[in-house]
Structure 1
């Protein structure tokens, strides 16, 4: 399966401002690229009654989580970030690790330990008693992780209007409403509180072989560490899905912001698409109703 992803993000910059962007696919999946993974940053200026894009200098680095980051200085005025890529993706939905046991903390790899701790949006230290009361009687391991995921899916309502940058897992637990990142923050926090490492993921998750769900956006999900590897979990789309393309991993959304501006940056345009394409690069038509075979879980035997 081939998936084409693209974005066009524009800002009005009142004053020259340094910006860091996380808009490339994660280095761990670069081997699946079928095209260049482009990022173009432009200053849009008026020249003789027409708009002309002037490319800006961009440098890259790998952060402490292994994410590919881009940095540049945005001048005053209109700035556009755009890019695209084509990826080879699996024809099967998210594998499911049913029956996997929980790994004792003392046996976890060093790099997994940070994903048990409290972070900006995930107040693990405040959820110990809550998690124990709700899920302490469940079987440790995959069963417990999946029950937490499904509980958050059932208890939290999705509403774009409920989004705010300061919303924490405790806010989501109290208000029971949010956007995709809020679902994941609450599920991550409850999972960590019961000693299963969980990390936040941002990336593309388009309408791949499922009915159209509305305008595109970057998506969020999370992963849990079991049996020596990370497994995809998604408290909003809790049915296994096709076409996840990770861009960045972190403790929570604070570590993987799509753009971080060190000054004011007013968003003026936002467009994201991620679609399955045929061999000629044309979008593959979507079904009008959910195909049960596309949502069937793949179970580890």
Structure 2
């Protein structure tokens, strides 16, 4: 399967503003691209790149005063298969986890494991650790939160999403991640492209999506608490402990979002 994807984001800056971008396809998926997903900016600026501690490809730029359009487009190859479902995948004992996985058991900016631990154990303490436990957490999160773009808030944490019972895809991911960690299952946040491939078209503007991965049976497995069904054609951009580590843009100063278009289409 070939997928044509890309974005166009417009910012209006009242003064030169440094920005951090995570808008490239993740290095794990770069080999699936027909050509590099080069970021373009319609201003005379210098863009530099580096790979962060979570393996994400990041770019640094100073946007000048006024409007700047950031864009990229590419064609990616995909297997066309839905997310794998491994019903018998067991959880690992904490003492057997690889060193680089341990960090995904800890609390983080949006994932307050200490606050939600009692709730998690009361809800899921009788479920054997493994795929069924993670799926129970996904089911709870999917049913607990009502989706709506009007409910988006950059400061919303997993505990707040659980209390308010509304949010966007990042809130579903952060809550499910937190509950997994409370139950001693490592979980990490993911963001990227997810189009309407294999499902009925959705009458809503395309957006980047957030999902998560849980560490089961010695590997990272994909789960999606917002959609709660295996999907086709995910194109990963970034991973991290929570939404902080995988923010698509971070402005170090005032920057007004003036336009936001994301496209993901099967060719």
Q: Same fold (TM over 0.5)?
A: yes
The alignment partner of 2:42 has SS state of strand
How far apart in 1 are the matches of 2:214 and 2:48?
32
State the match for 1:180 in structure 2: 169
What secondary structure is seen at the aligned counterpart in 2 of 1:95?
Answer: coil
Partner of 2:117: 128
Task: Name structure 2 gaps, 5 residues minimum.
Answer: none
The Cα of 1:109 is off from its aligned counterpart by: 0.3
* Map of 1:104 onto structure 2: 93
Equivalence map 1:206-245=2 (5 Å): 206-213=195-202, 214-245=204-235
Q: Does residue 33 in structure 1 map to residue 33 in structure 2?
A: yes
Corresponding position of 1:116: 105
Q: Contact (CA 8 Å) 2:14, 2:255: kept in 1 or not?
A: yes
Tell me what 2:18 maps to.
Answer: 18
SS in 2 for 1:255: coil
The structural deviation recorded for 1:80 is 0.9
- Cα distance in 2 for partners of 1:36, 1:60 equals 14
- Runs of 4 or more consecutive aligned structure 1 residues displaced over 2 Å after TM superposition: none
Q: Distance in 2 between matches of 1:74 and 1:36?
A: 22
Q: Which residue of 171, 176, 184 maps to 1:195?
A: 184
| Equivalent of 1:60 in 49, 62, 66 | 49
Q: Which residue of the other structure, out of 231, 236, 242, is the alignment partner of 1:252?
A: 242
- Find the aligned partners of 2:148 and 2:47 in 1 and give their Cα distance: 35
SS at match of 1:101: coil
Deviation at 1:81, TM superposition (A): 0.3
CA distance in 1, matches of 2:62, 2:122: 49
Q: Matched residue of 2:75: which SS?
A: strand
- Cα offsets for 1:210-247 (capped at 9, x unmatched): 12212110100000001111100000011100000100
Cα shift at 1:158:
0.4
Give the CA deviation at 1:209: 2.2
Q: Do the aligned partners of 2:30 and 2:36 also contact (CA within 8 Å) in 1?
A: no
Report the alpha carbon displacement of residue 42 of structure 1 after superposing the two structures with TM: 2.1
Larger Rg: 1
SS across alignment from 1:248: strand
Q: Is the 8 A contact 2:151 2:166 kept in 1?
A: yes
Q: TM-score, normalised by structure 2?
A: 0.98
Is 2:258 the partner of 1:268? Answer: yes
Residue 150 of structure 1 corresponds to 139
Q: Which runs of 5+ in 1 are unaligned?
A: 44-54, 278-301
CA deviation map 1:148-172 (0-9, x unaligned) = 0011111211011111011100101
